[in-house]
Each structure stands twice: as structure tokens, then as C-alpha cells.
Amino acid sequence: MTCRKYFVVVMIAFLAISFISAIEIGMTKAQYTNGSIQWGNMQHPTGLEFSDESAACYIIGVWTTRDGWYTNNFYNNPNNNNPPYSTWAYNQLTYLQQNYLPTDNFWVGDYCNAWNGYAQHWTFYGTPNTNPQDLVWDSTVNWAIDPAESQQYFDFIWTCSNGGCYWDQYLNYNYNPPLPTSPNNPYVVYGFRDWAGYCVGMPLAWTNINYMSIDGYYGPDVTPYCYIGFQGTSVGLSATASGSTHPYYDFVYFFYYYFTGQLDGIHHSVIDSLNYASQNIWPGYNFGNTILHNGWQVYYNGVNWSCAMRVFGNGWYSMP
Amino acid sequence: MAGIACLKEEENMKIGYKTYLAMIILGVLAFSLIQAPQVHATETSVNTKLNAFLTNVLRIDLIKYTVVTQQGYSDTYPAKYGGQVEEETLSYILTTADNSSRLNVNSIIDRGVLISCTCRPIHGSLLYVQPPSTDIINQGSRIMNDYRSFVSQNYAMDTSYLQLAQTMLSNVTNLTSSIAVSGNLQLETSQYSERISPVTNANETITTLHWIYTQNGEVASSKHIFLDFVDGQLDSFVDTYGLFRIGPQASITNAEAVKLGFASAQNFDVPLFQYDANGNPTSVKPDWSNATYDISLAMLPGDFWMTQPSLPIQLPNSSLIPQTVYPSNITRDALTLYPVWQLTFYFSKPIGNTLGIQVGVYGDTGQIHYRTYYSILGTQQPVSGSQALSPPTSLNKHSSPPPVGTKSQNSASLFTLPAYSYAVIIALLVMLAIGIYITRRRGK
């Protein structure tokens, strides 16, 4: 009897622990199934642009929160730079990775290029200064993700330069390649690892794969990733879209309005959402026939930069 | 007796209450029954029209497909058309029985007229009733012909513009890049090949046919027909020609628009700052001494941007963003296209990332429509003295201590015990229990 009692007690304890553990695991998983992060900063956060960027991050956060997603708006350094934004970003990405939270990111703000001693890298302004430790580097982003499968499945990066193909297959570099459409941009590489192993290029940094389609709009691939960024300079959200009176803020607004299912309750694909946003800015125009897709040129620092919004990976991606 | 009468009255009241309740329920039910078919009928009507378009114009073999995902359907009166137009959107995914072909279909229907349809294979190829011509001009001509019949059968619309569009297409000899004008239509063609895979070097060929309304050299880009083909298959179809009316011509000349716009840009009192090496701002005025400009004339709908003013914005740092959009002095209609000169004036030298000021000038009245910054989001210069490493100094992140702890990392610690740890603990407990049980049994 003593033995049986003992056995029963152990079994009850075992069952209780299993039950509690199951609840805990269940709660963890049930609490959040997906992540949505809004990031970014300007080199000098002032003016209408700052106001529009803040508003865009805010509204996206509102919409993904409605879906019960783990949502954090980190726009404009919410933590007074303590710890530095780069550390904050690294920790947040590590958290998302470790908890297998498939995440949609929207990053808006300023880009900066920087040199780490091995290669030229691509960075974001995390805070309004150019201290290297306050910039968020491609290699830092990738460090939080690699070598695991990236959980950053959709990345919409509205900054200059962080969405271009600047290298050919031999890694010959052209900082200002031709427009992605006619005449064809001959460059096909969006990221690589420098000789010291650090990731170069944001599309590779976020997705951690080097084989995404470089035209995810007309030629989407079957990877689980989609990355949108700008080749060359991007325009501010407060700027007026050419051939329209709408500011580019409205493009972001309508994209996420459709993408997050605010119109009809359906999470639409990136391709369809790009088309929907375009139709609202330029009535009757799908994304493939807009200036964003077909490109434009900006004269800056003595160079005519060829610029365009680029879609990498699987344009059929939609929010789970 | 008085008590009995009172009871009866109360009973009557109860009956009245029940009747009242029943009437309300019946009313709600009747309302629901009336509403439901109406909503359903609208969606069904759109669906029927879309299916007819897919079958008769794109010639897709719809019999071989079934809808696999819930249809996305919306019915709104968007502000972009001044609330005057009922806009429906309908989207779905179709698949064949063996799943060898999956299509994504997305459409926009304004006032019951299909103005946009994209139809793309997600997997496999499109299945047609009869394979389309591999010659884009032939295929485009056939589509335009079928579309004209579709419009005649479904809408009370003049189709002469479609006849003209088809004739213009038949005269195209160079798809790569051409522009031709006939009557009030301008046909632009483009064709280019693009690599889509950095690994396999796979290519795709995109061809576009674009007819735009034009009048006296002014191009009304909102009033147009557009077809694009990916690798010879129609990818999207747009026709907004019947949606917009043409408003007044521009009476303000190019030179007048520059003069008006430049004066307005110079008077635009926006906060602009130059920053020193330590990031300290100094308020500066733009240098216009060597200013340059871009100009174009657009025909834009008189939507809410023309009728509602933007308000000044007070930012947390107390700087004030002045009003940037000014309501039109005259009545504008959301479905009419008005001439607007769009100008960008570039400072002699950029101020931070701000390159200049954009100004919109109404081409018919000369009034300022909008003024705003023109800025880019980033710097191209290498950071001076940026030799210090922000990236980790070791490639093996797991061997390095993580960066400074934060709230997010603390919250992350809740989950740091991997899921398999629980399984290990449970397995150990089970083994322990069995071991004890067996030991005790043997002891007996």
C-alpha cells in the first residue's frame, strides 16, 4: 500500500507538473502567434516628415494590434537611447527569433552608409547622430538572426538605399546602378558576407537567405520571405507623389489598410496591397506602372541617383 | 371584482408586451431577410460580371477552376471620388481539381463597371479555353476586341474609344519603346527583359500597352487603358477611361506657373535646420541664389485634396509646420480632371536631407494648391571616423555576451527555457516513478 500510495503521489505530481507546463507553454503560444514591429528614426527628427513617419508607425501598430499580434512601435527611440537603439534592436530581434514569432517589420527613417574596416555596410539611423554604435548595422541585424531561419518574414523598409542590387555575381560594385526596369539593372546581388564574415546589405541581413527573387512583384518566388526597400534614394513620406496630390504617407497608409484586412477582413498579399495602394494614389494604376516601380532620378551630392522601390522574394506573402 | 379586473388588465398588458416583443423579433427577422439577399445580390452581380470578363475577354477556362479561398469583398464610397462612387472590390484564389494551376484574381468595380482586374498564376500556368497568341500585338488586339463586345453587352457606354485603341495597336511595329498619338489617345508601348533570380539567372519579359487620354499636348494619366503581360500572358487590365471627365484646359502658362510657384516656395516658412558635428541644430533659411526646378503639367482629379485644407501641425519640439494643402477657391469635382502644374524647386545646397520645396499650382486659376518639403531619407556620405565596430567583434554570437539587458530582454527571459526542457523533466519524473514502483514491488 505504501508503495502504491507513493506511486500515486508521484504520478499526481507528474500530472500536475505536466498540466502546469502545458498551460504555460500553451499560454506562451496562445498569447502571441505573430509579431509586428515599427522601427526607425531620422537623422534629425523635425518637421512634417517626422510627423508623417510617426503617424505611419502608429496606424500600422493599431491595425496589427487588432489582430492580436505582438506589436511594438519603436519609432524615434522610445527608450531615450538607454540602451542604444542598436542594442534595443538586437535584443528585440533576438527575442522574436528565440520565440519563433513570425514578424512583419516596417522601418521608416534615414539611411547611412558606414565602413566597419572590412567593407562598406548599410545602416539605419537609430538615434539622431552618426555614432557608429547608435546606427543599426546590417551586420548587427543579421547577427541577431543568423544562423537560424529568419522569423522576419515581411520587411517593408522605407529608407534610402536599403533595397538595391548593387553587385554583380562577382561582387563588382556599382553604387548607382541603372534603374531596375528598362534599361535593365544588370546587378543581381542584394547582399553578401564580407571577408570577415559580416553580412553586407539589408535584404540579406533581415531574411538571411541569398536566393530571393529580385523582382518579387512580376516574378515572385516561393520562399516564405518578402522584402521591400529602395534602390538609391527614397522620398520622404511627406513628399507629394508625382502625378498625384497625395503624399507618400498615403501610399503606406493604403498599403497597410489592405494588407492588414481593414477593408474587407482579408489579409491580402503584398502584390495586391501594392496595387491597392497605387490605385488610391494614382487611380487606375497598378504598382507595376507607377513611378515607384519604374523609377526616377534624384540629383544629390553631384550624382544623378537612379532610384526605385524594389520588391524581393515572394510577393504573394500575406499576413498569417 | 376590482381585483379580477385588475388581473385581467395586467394579463392584457402581458399579452401586449409579448405581442410587442414578437413584432420586434419579426421586424428584425424581416429586415435581415430583406438585407441579406440585397448584399448577396450585389456581390453575386459583381461576381457574375467578373466571371464573364475572365471567360469572355481573358478566355480563361473557368470550368476547370473552383474558388478555394474566402472571397474578399468590400463595398465602399471612397473619399478619392468625393463619396460619389460606389466602389466594390472582389478577390479570390482559384484552383484546379488536381491543384496544378492556382490563380489569384483581384478586381475593382466602380459604379458597377469593372475598371481593374489582375489575374496571375500563383502556381502552374493559366488554363485557357484556347491558348492566346504568342504575338503580343495579336493577343492584345483580340483582347480589346472581346472587351469591346463585353462593354457593349454589359454597360450603356460609348465604345468608340476602344475601337480607336484597337486600331492604334494594329499599327504598332515596335513594342520595345514607342509612342503614337491618334485623336485623343496616346499609345505608349514598352517591353523589357529582367532577371528575377540571382541564383538561376531566370528571366521574365514584361510588355505594357498603355493608352492615355491626351488633349492639346496635355496628358490626363488618370483616364486610360492599360494592359501588361508577363512572359506573354496578360497580367493586369485597367480601364478608367469612362470614369473621369476632362475639366478646363490650363490657362496659366509654364512661365507663369514657375513665377507663381517660386514666389510661393520662397515664402514658405518651414522650419529648416543645419546641424553641426555634435548634432546641435541652427535654424537656417534656404539659399535660393542658384535654385533650379523641375516642372510638369498633370491632369488631376478634384478629390478631397483639392477641397479640404490641411491644418498646421505643432510638433513636440514646438516647431510649427504651416498649412501645406490649400482648398480650391472654386468648386472642384472628384471625377473631373483639372490641370495642375507640379513644380520642385531645389535649394542651391541641400539643407540636411531636404533638397527643396514642392509646389502645386492650379493651371486654370493660378492658385497655389500645395507646398511641401522635398526630402530624401538618408545620407550617402561615409560616416567620418566610423572605423569603430558596431557589429560584433566575434562571428559566434553565442560565445559572446549579449548586449546590455533591456526590458525586452527581461521579458524574453520568460521564454528562455526551451520547450524540450519540459519534455526532459517529465521523462525524468516518469522514469523516477517507474523505478521507485519497481523497486518497491521487488522489495515486497
Does B365 have pLDDT greater than 60?
Answer: yes
What residues form DSSP beta bridges with B108? B89, B116
- Does B421 score more than 90 pLDDT? no
Q: How confident is the model at residue B26 (pLDDT cuts 50, 70, 90)?
A: low
- Predicted local confidence at residue A195, as pLDDT: 84
How buried is A226 (Cβ within 10 angstroms: 0-12 exposed, 13-18 middle, 19+ buried)? Answer: buried
* Chain A residues near residue B68 by CB distance under 8 angstroms: none
- The model's pLDDT over B76-127, given as tens digits with 9 standing for 90+, comes to 999 888 888 999 999 999 999 999 999 999 999 999 999 999 999 999 999 9
- Which pLDDT band holds residue A12 (cuts at 50, 70, 90)? low
Average pLDDT, chain A: 87
Q: Which residues does chain A have within 8 Å of residue B372's beta carbon, measured at their own beta carbons?
A: 48, 238-240, 247
Q: Which of A71, A139, A266 to mutate to test the interface with B (most CBs of B within 10 A)?
A: A266
Cβ distance B380 to A283 less than 8 Å, yes or no, reads: no
For a pLDDT cut of 70, what percent of chain B falls above it?
72
Determine the length of chain A.
320
Q: What DSSP state is assigned to residue B247? A: -
Residues 6+ apart with CB under 8 A from A121: A113, A114, A115, A137, A138, A139, A198, A200, B391
For residue A115, what pLDDT is reported? 79
Closest residue, chain A, to B282 (C-alpha)? A44
Look at B306 and A210 and tell me if their CB atoms are within 8 Å: no
The pLDDT of residue B319 is: 55
For position A13, what pLDDT does the model report?
59
Helix (H, G, I), strand (E, B) or coil at A186: coil
| Best residue of B274, B354, B379, B390 to probe chain A, by most A CBs closer than 10 Å | B390
Any CB–CB contact under 8 A between B167 and chain A? no
Confidence of residue B2 (pLDDT cuts 50, 70, 90): very low
**Mean pLDDT within B383-405:** 30
Q: What is the ipTM of this complex?
A: 0.84
Report angle CA B31, B37, B39 to the nearest 5 degrees.
95
pLDDT (tens digit per residue) in B233-248: 999 999 999 999 999 9
Minimum CA–CA partner of A40 in chain B: B377
Q: Is B122 on the interface with A (CB under 8 A)?
A: yes
Rounded Cα distance, B343 and A5, in Å: 88
Residue pLDDT, tens place only, A18-58 = 554 444 444 444 478 899 999 999 888 877 888 899 999 99
Of A90, A89, A76, A87, which is closest to residue A40 (Cα–Cα)?
A: A76
- For residues A131 and B269, what is the distance between their CA atoms, to the nearest angstrom? 31
Number of CB atoms found within 10 A of residue A244's CB: 27
Tell me whether A113 touches chain B (CB under 8 Å): yes
- Give the per-residue pLDDT at B39: 47
What confidence tier does B273 reach under pLDDT thresholds 50, 70, 90?
confident
- Compute the distance between CA of residue A83 and CA of residue B33 in angstroms, rounded to an integer: 60
Across the interface, of B223, B272, B390, the residue whose CB is closest to A132 is B390
Q: CA–CA distance from A292 to each of A30, A181, A308, A309 (Å)?
A: 39, 11, 5, 5
Q: What pLDDT, on the 0 to 100 scale, is given for residue B274? A: 80
Q: Which residues of B fall within a CB distance of 8 Å from A219?
A: 194, 196-197, 202, 204, 230
Neighbouring C-alpha atoms within 13 Å toward the C-beta of A9: 7
Q: Are the beta carbons of A42 and A50 closer than 8 angstroms?
A: yes
* pLDDT tier for residue B211 given thresholds of 50, 70 and 90: very high
Task: Say whether pLDDT at A6 is over 70.
Answer: no
